[in-house]
Structure 1
C-alpha cells in the first residue's frame, strides 16, 4: 500500500511538533534549578556537597596568590597542611570567571554568581554534545528528546545544579565525548577521543575504568577488522599518549614529576597511556602487513596480547601499591568509620537496608538503559553506536551497585538511550491501532527518572519506619551559611568538628580544621573519629595533640560510638556531660561550640 500523501501545508494556527519539542526543551532547561536554590547559591554560597565547598576554597587560595603548583591547603591540619590531589585545570576556569565578574559585582557576589553560572554553562555544553552525538546516529528528533530527557534525569541534574563546582560534571562531558568519537570512528575523532580521555584522567581517576574500556574496545576492533579500524586506534593512542603527559606537566610541579600517586594522574597511569601510544604506533607502522582480514587476525591478537601483558607486568612490577586501588594505606579504623559511611561509597544494598527510597530515581533508569542498549546491539544498522553505549553503561551499572559513585558518569548516557526510545515511540504512534505501540512508549517513560519520584515518595509515605538513615535536611542545616558563618566572629584558631563539616568551615570562616572528608589527611580523619567517637580521655588527647582552640558539634549528626557507651562528645552536645577544659560559647544557630582551655 502506498504511503499517504503529506499535506502541502499545515493547517493555519497549528504549531509543528518539532517546535513544540523545542519549547518543551527550553522550559525543562529553564526549570532545572529552583529559583530559591539559585538565589541561595548567589547570596550565601549554598553548595550541594562538601567537595563543592572545598573546590571554592582552592579557587580562593589560587586567586589570593597561592602558586599554581602549590595545591596544599594550609588551613587543613596546620601548620604543614594537606596536599590536594585535585586538578588545577578545574580551578582555573572557575577562578577566571570570578575574576571577570569581580569588577562588576565585587568579590563576594562574583563567587556566588560563578557558583551558580558555572554548572549552567557546563550543562549547555553537555546538551550541545548530547544533541550533536545523538543526531549523528539516530536523527534530530531523537537528539532533541535526549536533551529533554537529560533535564529529567536526576543522575545528570544533580551534577549540573547550581553550586555544583566539583569535577563530576566535567567527567561526564569527557567520557560522553569520548563515546561519540568512538562511534564516529576515524583518525580525527579518534584523536579527539584520546585527548578527551586524557582530560578525564587529568581531572580525576573516576573515568579510568571507562578510558581502559575504550582502549580495549578500539584494540579489539582493530584485531578483528584490521585496516578499517586502524585509524580510530591510531588516533586514540596518539591523542591519549601525547595529551596525558602534557596535561600532567601543566598541573604538576617539575620537582614532583617522578613521584607516584595512586589517586591522581602520575607515573603509574602515564605508563599505561604511553603504552597505548606505543601499541598504536606499532599497529600503524605495520601497515599492510597486519591489515588484511582474516589472514592476520591471529597476528593482531598476538601483538595486542603481548603489548597488554608487557604493560600490565610493568605496572605491577613498578607500581605494586596501586594494584590495591587509590587508598592503599588507609587504616581499618578510617576505612570502617569514615570511608564506608560516605554515601557515594555506599552499595545499593545499603540504600535498601536503610530505607533510602531516593535510590529509585537513580538505579532503575540506568538498569533499563543498560538492558536496552545491550538488546539494540543485535538489531538495526546502529550496531556500533549501541555497542559503545552498552560498553560504558554496563560497567558503570556494576560499579554503581557496589558504590553509588559508579553511577555518576554513566547517568550521562541514560538520556541518550531514553531519547532514542522515545523517538521510536513517537514514530509508532502513527501506526495502526492494532500495532504494538505501548511497550516502546512505556519503556521510554520508564527511563525518565523524574517519574520514579512517584514510587519513591509513596514508599517514603507508606513505610516511614523503614528509614534509618540520617536526616539529610538536619545534616545540611549544620553546613549552611547561617550555621557556620557565626563561627567567623570568633578569634582565629583550629577547629575540631565532625568530618563532614570541615570544608564548610574552611569556606565560611578564617579558622583552620583538623578533619575533612579526604583520604590524604589520614591523621585528621583518625583524630576526629577517635576524639569525637571515644571517651573524654580520647577527646582530651586529640585537643592537645592538634592544638585545638574550638570544639564544634552538630547535634543532628553525632559521631559513631567507638565504645559500648555513648561517646563523650555526643553526651557533651546533649548536655548530659561536662568538662572543666571546655567552655561553652553562645553562638547562634544549630551548632554547639566550646572554647578549649589551655
Structure 2
C-alpha cells in the first residue's frame, strides 16, 4: 500500500451515499469500458469480411480451416506454401477455434461461421482473463478494486490489443496462462495444489509458444529462492510447481506432436531442449523434498541441479542457446525479422510509432514503480505479495521489452493488478475528509497514468485536432485494403497458381484465395522469405527470382505515397510506376492488387 502518498481512508457515514459504493454503478463503468473494446466498427469488418488484425491471425484461421478440411492433427505443414514448411504453432489453440466454427457452419454458412469464431474466441479468453484478474484483486483488496481492475484492463492497450475482435493468435492464451500461474502463487501461504496449478499452466503456455519462457523461469527461480530462504514451509508450492511442470509439459508435447517427431529438437517450440529444462525443474523439486539439512545444503542442491540443467542444455542442444531463429540467413534477419514491429527495440519504435511506444512503455514503468513501493510499504500481507508479483512481472517485462517490443505483451497483463487497487484508492480519496484536493488530483492522475489509452489519446490528439492522418495508421489501413477479402478474392478469376508477393501479403492470399504462395512471415519458411526479399528489392532481378521459384503470378500492392519518402521497388511496383522487363501485366478487375506473370519465351 502507498502509505505516504495514498493513505488509507477511514470510512464515514456519508460514504455509503457515494455512487461508487454501489456495485451496479461500478459494473456499469466496467461495461462501458468493455463496450469500447467491442464497438461495432471493430466487430463488423471481422464478422462480415473476416478482416483480421494481424498476419498471424490470418494464418491461424488458415490452419484451423485446413484442420476442419481433413488435414491430420499432427500434420502442421502449410501445404499451400512453397516447400510446405511445418508451422511451429500449437493444435491446442486450433482445436477450440475449430470447435466454434464447426457447429456454426450449418446455421450461418462457412464464411460467417469463421467471422463469429474470430470474434468469440478472443472475447471468451478475455472473460477468462478478467475472471482471474478480478478474483485475485478482490481476494487481496475488496470487490470494488477487483471490478476497477477489470475496467483498467479495458483501458490497457497492451491487453485490449491482444483480446480485440479477430485476435486469434496465441498470445492471449499465453497471457491467461501466465497470469493464472502468477496468481496461483499470490496467496500469502501457497499450497502444493497452488504450485501444481501454476506448473500445469506453465506447461500449457510453453506448449502454445515459448514467448513467456522468461516469466515461467522467473516463477521457478522465485519458488526455489523462497525454499532456499525458508526451508520446509516453502517446499509445497515449489514441489507442486516442479512436478506439475515436469509431468504436464511432456503430456502436452505428446498430444500435439507426431510420435515420429518426439525426438526432433526445435528451438522455437516445445520439444526436447525445453522438455529437458522442465524435467530438470521436476528433478530439482523432487530432490528438495529429500533435503533435511540447513540453508547450506539447500544451496548446494540448487547449485548442483542448476549446473546440471544448464550444462546438459548446452551440451545436448547448443544451437538453442543462440535463440529460436537458428539458421536464419543474414539477408532475412536484417531485411525482414529485425523490421517486424514487435521485434523493434524501444529506441527504434519511438521514431516510427511514438504513439505505440507511449501507450506501452510509460504505463509499465510507472506500474512497476508503484507496485514496488506498494510491496515494500503495504500493511496487509496479501496486498504486499500481490504487488510484489506484479512488480516482478512488470520489471521483467521492461527488461525484455526494451530490446524487443513484444517483451511487453505478457507484462501488460499485470498492469491492471496495480491500476485497479490504485483507482479504488483514488475513488475513496474523493470523499475522504482528510484528503486534500492536491492529494485527490495526484491519486487520480497516477491511476490514469497506468492506462495506456490515456497515453495513446495524448499522443494522437495533436494529429486528430489538426485533421492529419497518422502515417502508420494510414499505411496499415492501406495494407488492410490490399489484404481484404474482396481484393484477394478477385484473384480467383485466375487459375490456381503459385504467387510471389510481398511477405506480409502471404497469409491474406492463403486465407481469401485458392492460390498458393512463395512467402509468408514465418521464420521456418526461409527460402520463400529470401525469394520475396530478393525479388522485391531489385526490379531487374524479379523475373529471374520468379522463374527460380516457379511462380505463376507476381502480385504487388503498396500504400499511398507519403511526402518526402523514398519509395521502395515494391512500392513502385504496387503503384504501377514500373514494370520489370520480362513480366507482362495480367488485368484483374475489382482489386487494388497488380498482377504480372512471366512473359513467355519467344
| TM-score calculated relative to the size of structure 1 | 0.92
Distance 2:560 2:208 in 1: 31
Q: Which residue, 536, 540, 558 being the options, matches 2:543?
A: 540
Distance 1:43 1:61 in 2: 21
The equivalent of 1:172 in structure 2 is 175
Secondary structure (helix, strand or coil) at the match of 1:82 reads: coil
The equivalent of 1:570 in structure 2 is 572
The equivalent of 1:519 in structure 2 is 523
The equivalent of 1:281 in structure 2 is 286
Secondary structure (helix, strand or coil) at the match of 2:554 reads: strand
Aligned partners of 1:584 and 1:594 also within 8 Å: yes
The equivalent of 2:493 in structure 1 is 489
**How far apart are 1:169 and its partner, in Å?**
0.5
Distance 2:263 2:71 in 1: 23
**How far apart are 1:465 and its partner, in Å?**
11
Q: Which residue, 550, 555, 560 being the options, matches 1:552?
A: 555
2:369 aligned with 1:371, yes or no?
yes
Distance 1:451 1:357 in 2: 11
Secondary structure (helix, strand or coil) at the match of 2:81 reads: coil
Distance 2:87 2:415 in 1: 32
Residues 223 and 595 (structure 1 numbering): CA distance in 2 closer, same or farther, change over 3 Å? Answer: same
Aligned partners of 2:543 and 2:582 also within 8 Å: no
The equivalent of 1:581 in structure 2 is 583
2:407 aligned with 1:406, yes or no?
yes
Secondary structure (helix, strand or coil) at the match of 1:159 reads: helix
Residues 460 and 546 (structure 1 numbering): CA distance in 2 closer, same or farther, change over 3 Å? Answer: same
1:226-375 → structure 2 map (5 Å cutoff): 226-286=231-291, 289-290=292-293, 296-354=294-352, 356-375=354-373
Aligned partners of 2:574 and 2:593 also within 8 Å: no
Secondary structure (helix, strand or coil) at the match of 2:414 reads: helix
Distance 1:65 1:513 in 2: 21
Q: Which residue, 455, 460, 463 being the options, matches 1:457?
A: 460
Aligned partners of 1:356 and 1:469 also within 8 Å: no
Distance 1:398 1:40 in 2: 36
Distance 1:269 1:218 in 2: 19
Deviation track 1:264-296 (CA, whole Å, cap 9, x = no partner) reads: 00000000000000011111133xx14xxxxx1
Aligned partners of 1:356 and 1:467 also within 8 Å: no
Deviation track 1:464-508 (CA, whole Å, cap 9, x = no partner) reads: 799689822222221111221211221100001100000000000
Secondary structure (helix, strand or coil) at the match of 1:582 reads: strand
Which region of structure 1 is more displaced relative to structure 2, 585-594 or 503-512? 585-594
Q: Which residue, 37, 55, 79 being the options, matches 2:60?
A: 55
Residues 349 and 466 (structure 1 numbering): CA distance in 2 closer, same or farther, change over 3 Å? Answer: farther
Deviation track 1:433-491 (CA, whole Å, cap 9, x = no partner) reads: 55433322221111122211332113546997996898222222211112212112211
Aligned partners of 1:72 and 1:83 also within 8 Å: yes
Secondary structure (helix, strand or coil) at the match of 1:285 reads: coil
The equivalent of 1:420 in structure 2 is 421
The equivalent of 1:561 in structure 2 is none
Distance 2:465 2:160 in 1: 27
Distance 1:495 1:5 in 2: 71
Q: Which residue, 509, 512, 532 being the options, matches 2:513?
A: 509
| TM-score calculated relative to the size of structure 2 | 0.92
**How far apart are 1:374 and its partner, in Å?**
1.6
**How far apart are 1:543 and its partner, in Å?**
1.0
Aligned partners of 1:532 and 1:569 also within 8 Å: no
The equivalent of 1:112 in structure 2 is 115
Deviation track 1:243-272 (CA, whole Å, cap 9, x = no partner) reads: 000000000000000000000000000000
The equivalent of 1:293 in structure 2 is none
Please provide the CA RMSD for this pair. 2.4
Distance 1:586 1:573 in 2: 15
Aligned partners of 1:351 and 1:357 also within 8 Å: no
The equivalent of 1:479 in structure 2 is 483
Aligned partners of 1:551 and 1:593 also within 8 Å: yes
Distance 1:67 1:110 in 2: 21
**How far apart are 1:565 and its partner, in Å?**
11
**How far apart are 1:297 and its partner, in Å?**
1.5
Secondary structure (helix, strand or coil) at the match of 1:575 reads: coil
2:197 aligned with 1:192, yes or no?
yes
Deviation track 1:349-398 (CA, whole Å, cap 9, x = no partner) reads: 11222253232222211111111112222112332222221121111112
Give the length in aligned residue pairs.
580
1:8-157 → structure 2 map (5 Å cutoff): 16-77=21-82, 80-157=83-160
Distance 1:454 1:106 in 2: 39
Residues 468 and 50 (structure 1 numbering): CA distance in 2 closer, same or farther, change over 3 Å? Answer: closer
Secondary structure (helix, strand or coil) at the match of 2:433 reads: coil
**How far apart are 1:3 and its partner, in Å?**
7.2
Aligned partners of 1:486 and 1:588 also within 8 Å: yes
Which region of structure 1 is more displaced relative to structure 2, 375-384 or 143-152? 375-384
Residues 438 and 167 (structure 1 numbering): CA distance in 2 closer, same or farther, change over 3 Å? Answer: same
Uncovered stretches (5+) of structure 1, i.e. residues with no partner: 291-295, 559-563
Deviation track 1:189-232 (CA, whole Å, cap 9, x = no partner) reads: 11000000000000000010101000000000110011221001
Residues 147 and 249 (structure 1 numbering): CA distance in 2 closer, same or farther, change over 3 Å? Answer: same
Secondary structure (helix, strand or coil) at the match of 2:163 reads: coil
Which protein has greater RCO, CA pairs closer than 8 Å, 6+ apart? Answer: 2
Distance 2:15 2:240 in 1: 47
Distance 1:385 1:15 in 2: 24
Secondary structure (helix, strand or coil) at the match of 1:362 reads: helix
Secondary structure (helix, strand or coil) at the match of 2:556 reads: strand
Aligned partners of 2:583 and 2:596 also within 8 Å: no
